[in-house]
Amino acid sequence: MTFTQDGYVTEGTVDNIFIHCNDILMTPPLSAGILEGVAQNSVIHSASQLSRQFCVKQKHKEGNEYE
């Protein structure tokens, strides 16, 4: 798992990061320096097709801080 200089979760070496919390699916934004991936796009598309709440946010590695 990699982090920004400010300590926000970005991605793994070969995978995208998704966090499911309180029925909300979250993933870091591309502006965090992550690579856009086929798997990430597929999960976002599937979540929207299932009418699931989805947002692009960053989660801090030290706790519940979101940006």
Read off the pLDDT of residues 2-30 as tens digits, 9 standing for 90 and up.
Answer: 888 888 888 887 888 888 878 778 888 88
* Structural domain boundaries enclosing 42: 1-60
Q: Specify the number of domains making up the chain.
A: 1
pTM of the model: 0.66
Q: Is residue 29 part of a domain?
A: yes
Please report, for the domain that includes residue 41, its CATH number. 3.20.10.10
> If phi over 0 gives left and psi between -120 and 50 gives alpha, with beta otherwise, what is residue 7?
left
Q: Is residue 25 part of a domain?
A: yes
Q: Is residue 66 part of a domain?
A: no
Residues of the chain with pLDDT > 70, as a percent, come to 84
